[in-house]
Chains A and B, each alone.
Chain A
Amino acid sequence: MARRSEAVVVLGRAVRTPRGATGLVIAGCVILVAVIGPAVAPYSSTEFVTAPFARASRAAWLGGDVLGRDVLTRTLNGGWELLAMAAVATALGVGVGAMIGVIAAYYGGWWDNVIMRAVDVILAFPQLVFALLLVSILGPKIWLIVLAVAISHAPQVARVSRAAALDVSERDFVKAMQILGIPGRRIIRRDVLPNLTSVLMVEIGLRLTYSMLIIAGLSFLGFGLQPPTASWGLMINENRVGLIANPWGVLMPAILIAMFTIGVNTFTDAVAHASLGVGRRSTEPDPLVGLVAEGATT
């Protein structure tokens, strides 16, 4: 009997809840705008279409920005790079953080102490300040921003996954593998990590929204993508002086960032709920779980 992996089961369950569906639709809209935006944009993002901060017109549906470029075009173009950077930073941060946390938990002792103290040091810096520090020293390069955000995520992910892995590492099925003399890295890969799926999925969702906010925040502060590139964070900064003349230049990117954050967070919330009880009797109706568990401890 083939069985779907836990990730698929949990995601499927989450999507079927009202909360999960709402979150997915909201975040999905933003992703859609970012991905197909560049293809449908009416102008080039550096083309001067109107007067600076021109009001919405038939030629420029959302008016012009600080230099008279089309706000709609820049909005459609300014998302994908941001999303891609956030995704890569998240994958990197969660991947590295989970590895560090699991290794610390599994091997324990000296490893645990050294790794977790190092983690504590990085944790002492606020995420944004840490990223700013790196970027302001080495210059605003895209890879560096991604790396800085990833590094600032890793310690927090490490903490969470260490706690979860500690529990799994103490279980008897891990002991059963250790007794056979199977090397630790294989036990971690085969037995420990698959049992952390739910925890890591929630972590990915949370970190994705944080990545997005930090990267957009860095752009706003001038440390992200440089002009004339269109980017939502940068757009907010550029256009805030004309907020009264043409609010769309600030509102559109701000709304999209907010929608994405809220959507992903809502969906993650649903995933966290859906993951409860998975891996036990997931095929049974809920009230039975109590009955089955009744005998488990006697």
Chain B
Amino acid sequence: MTAPSEDIPVTAEASVAAPAPGGTPRLAVENLRIIMRPSRHQPEVDVVDEVSFTVQPGYVLGLVGESGSGKTTVALALLGLVKRGLAIGGGKVLIDGRDILALSEHELQKLRGKTVAYVPQDPSSALNPVLKVGTQLREVFAVHGGDEGRLTEVMAEAGLEDPGPILAAYPHQLSGGQQQRVALAMAFACRPRLIVLDEPTTGLDVTTQRRVLDTVRGLCRTYEVAAVYISHDLAVVAEIADQVAVLYAGRLIEIGPAREVFATPSHPYTRGLMRAVPVLESTYELHGLAGSPPRPGSRPPGCFFQPRCEFAVAECELRQPDLITVSGTGHAARCVRAAEITALSATLALASERSAPSAEEPVLTITGVSVSYTNKPVLRDVNLVVGAKQSVAIVGTSGSGKTTLARCVVGLHKDWTGTITFAGAELPPGVRGRTQDQLRRIQFVSQNPYSSLNPRHTIGQIVGAPLAHFHKLGGREHRQRIEDALTSVALRASFAARYPDELSGGERQRVALARALVLDPDLLVCDEVTSALDVSVQAAIVELLLRLQAERGLALLFITHNLPLVRSIADDVTVISAGQICERGPVTQVLTEPSHDYTRQLLADVPAFGTDDPLTG
């Protein structure tokens, strides 16, 4: 990917007065404020405030933020939309100098799709399942009066080379990547002036993601479309964006050329995010950000980040800092110590490479395991060994069969052939045939912390359930064990009385871990345990897993699609594709000298922060 040139026309609030070279920007957001009124009697609170940025034709602005930062709220405002319960509280959204927030609903309707286009996060739910793709694409032309003859051209531009079969297909008959391309074709069909992309590659595997990113970038350049790309994935934004704007608690806290922001972050929050992102090239110690972002209405006085900030000084509590320009390229940050932090950012500790423990006796041996669903093979002759106290990662894209393998190990899936040996004894296929001891010693943590905890039970009940089943302990000892488990995952013992809906995603995942650890297992199977979490939370969970593994001598089977993460957590890695193992070996070897083409392709497609390493830079 070509590196953005030095004179990127980006303007921060601080330099709004001086128009960027190149005339009127395609998109200018000025002091956007979006408010919420919880009820008639309560005062309004701002969800988003003081958001200003510009985007020139042909350029991509990456809007980065964690859950609840307000990035989707800002994105929708660019289309003149607000979520239910919210309202525009002030500011302007100028497209080619025209304020769209001042338009009537009728005018906005004409604008959407023609002047501003939107690509949603999940194309499978954005496309109508009962209409053929062709019908839906033609509808765009019908509504906005384009030339239907351009249909094939538009599809080719979106990377759909053979449009015939796709036009005749229903959305569910297409792959996720194809669906997203159809959504892109729809968005670019009327040659919009501005396109808003809301995490369009979240559900896609890295290879498809790479192709979609290339397509978006190419189309923006060719047709001089300004794009706003929303994502929580810093690496993806680094790949596609010329400029990046970081949102925290509804405020822009840093803005500037993408390369510069990622190389020398000037705000402690951006810096914290960068320290949380695993990188493919080297093993870094990942650091999670403590605490969670303040919610609208309960934001602290002064700087919103100050309670979590390691650089906070007394002044930070007094007032909201302004955007301070840190370089001539428009790089600015909302922090009083921005200049200091910019200078600091290169100092990030390299972790010692994980040294694979000497080949101890294997705790888990998988030999020739195959699984079929209705005669379609899902796993074919899989062999895998996990040594005691070892951490083994299984990497694969969606549909590779990696989750099925995990389910076979824990006994949720019982129709498999082959043998799985645990601690010297062969494991019966399903949970029913296994001994109490086997059940206790193999524990499982699932992907989604939002569905893995029973909403009707307290955390104490949730963590206590396995304990009650395996050990009949007295009330006091029972409570003590629950407290210990919670403490070991860095939660306060008082969490035992809370309910899951009072917890954040990261806290929930810690509870799920505590539930697994309370039985003192030997093998912990983790199925994509960080994929539903924000990057700073992911780092904190990985930190925790590594600490627990070292302290307790756990063997870890870590299933993920995130290759850079593997580097931080695993000793050995097994790459799996279409139900077959492609490659296995020590992490450093597989990631630096891959021997299988599939691994090489995967590695090449992983989004990265540019050619020279920004962290060591």
Interface residue ranges, A against B (CB under 8 Å):
1, 3, 6, 171-173, 175-182, 190-191, 194-195, 279-283, 285-288, 290-292, 294-298
Cα of A256 to Cα of B219 in the assembled complex, Å: 70
Residue interface bits B427-463, CB-to-A below 8 A is 1, else 0: 0000110101001100110111011111111100010
25 A-B pairs with C-beta separation under 8 A: A1-B497, A3-B458, A171-B451, A172-B446, A175-B444, A176-B515, A179-B410, A180-B439, A180-B466, A181-B434, A181-B436, A191-B457, A194-B456, A195-B455, A287-B38, A290-B83, A290-B84, A291-B47, A291-B73, A291-B295, A292-B68, A294-B72, A295-B534, A297-B532, A298-B534
List, in ascending order, chain B residues with CB within 8 A of A173's CB. 451-454, 462
The B55-111 residues at the A interface (CB cut-off 8 A) are 66-68, 72-73, 83-86
Nearest B-chain residue to A182, judged by Cβ: B469
CB of A177 within 8 A of CB of B465, answer: yes
List, in ascending order, chain B residues with CB within 8 A of A178's CB. 412, 431
Cα of A282 to Cα of B469 in the assembled complex, Å: 30
B36 on interface, CB distance cutoff 8 Å: yes
What would 11 more interface pairs be, CB under 8 Å, given A288-B38, A295-B505? A179-B412, A180-B465, A182-B465, A195-B454, A285-B38, A285-B39, A287-B84, A287-B85, A290-B85, A296-B450, A298-B202
Cα of A175 to Cα of B447 in the assembled complex, Å: 12
B26 on interface, CB distance cutoff 8 Å: no
Tell me the count of chain B residues lying within 8 A, CB to CB, of chain A.
59
CB of B412 within 8 A of CB of A175, answer: yes
Known: A180-B470, A290-B83. A191 touches B454 (CB 8 A): yes
B498 on interface, CB distance cutoff 8 Å: yes
The B291-305 residues at the A interface (CB cut-off 8 A) are 295-296
CB of B432 within 8 A of CB of A298, answer: no
Cα of A173 to Cα of B447 in the assembled complex, Å: 11
Q: Could you say which of B86, B440, B446, B512 contacts A287, with CB atoms under 8 Å apart?
A: B86
Cα of A295 to Cα of B295 in the assembled complex, Å: 12
Cα of A282 to Cα of B532 in the assembled complex, Å: 22
Q: Nearest Cβ distance between residue A114 and chain B, in whole angstroms? A: 21
Cα of A282 to Cα of B121 in the assembled complex, Å: 27
Q: Nearest Cβ distance between residue B256 and chain A, in whole angstroms? A: 24
Nearest A-chain residue to B447, judged by Cβ: A172
B285 on interface, CB distance cutoff 8 Å: no
List, in ascending order, chain B residues with CB within 8 A of A194's CB. 454, 456
Residue interface bits B482-498, CB-to-A below 8 A is 1, else 0: 00000000000000011
Nearest A-chain residue to B293, judged by Cβ: A295
Known: A180-B469, A280-B501. A298 touches B232 (CB 8 A): yes
B46 on interface, CB distance cutoff 8 Å: no
B113 on interface, CB distance cutoff 8 Å: no
Cα of A191 to Cα of B462 in the assembled complex, Å: 10
Cα of A291 to Cα of B299 in the assembled complex, Å: 15
Cα of A282 to Cα of B455 in the assembled complex, Å: 11
List, in ascending order, chain B residues with CB within 8 A of A3's CB. 458, 499
List, in ascending order, chain A residues with CB within 8 A of B522's CB. none
Cα of A176 to Cα of B512 in the assembled complex, Å: 9
Q: Could you say which of A177, A282, A290 contacts B501, with CB atoms under 8 Å apart?
A: A282
B288 on interface, CB distance cutoff 8 Å: no
B411 on interface, CB distance cutoff 8 Å: yes
Q: Could you say which of B66, B296, B455, B497 contacts A295, with CB atoms under 8 Å apart?
A: B66
List, in ascending order, chain B residues with CB within 8 A of A281's CB. 501
Q: Could you say which of B73, B443, B498 contacts A1, with CB atoms under 8 Å apart?
A: B498
Q: Nearest Cβ distance between residue B523 and chain A, in whole angstroms? A: 12
B199 on interface, CB distance cutoff 8 Å: yes
Q: Nearest Cβ distance between residue A276 and chain B, in whole angstroms? A: 14
Q: Which 7 A-B pairs have the closest CB atoms?
A: A295-B67, A287-B85, A172-B452, A285-B38, A194-B456, A173-B454, A172-B446
Q: Nearest Cβ distance between residue B107 and chain A, in whole angstroms? A: 26
CB of B446 within 8 A of CB of A176, answer: yes
Nearest A-chain residue to B442, judged by Cβ: A179
Q: Could you say which of A175, A286, A292, A297 contacts B446, with CB atoms under 8 Å apart?
A: A175
Cα of A198 to Cα of B166 in the assembled complex, Å: 43
Cα of A244 to Cα of B37 in the assembled complex, Å: 59
The B272-300 residues at the A interface (CB cut-off 8 A) are 295-296
Q: Could you say which of B84, B85, B439, B448 contacts A181, with CB atoms under 8 Å apart?
A: B439
Cα of A172 to Cα of B500 in the assembled complex, Å: 14
Cα of A290 to Cα of B83 in the assembled complex, Å: 8
CB of B456 within 8 A of CB of A296, answer: no
List, in ascending order, chain A residues with CB within 8 A of B505's CB. 295-296
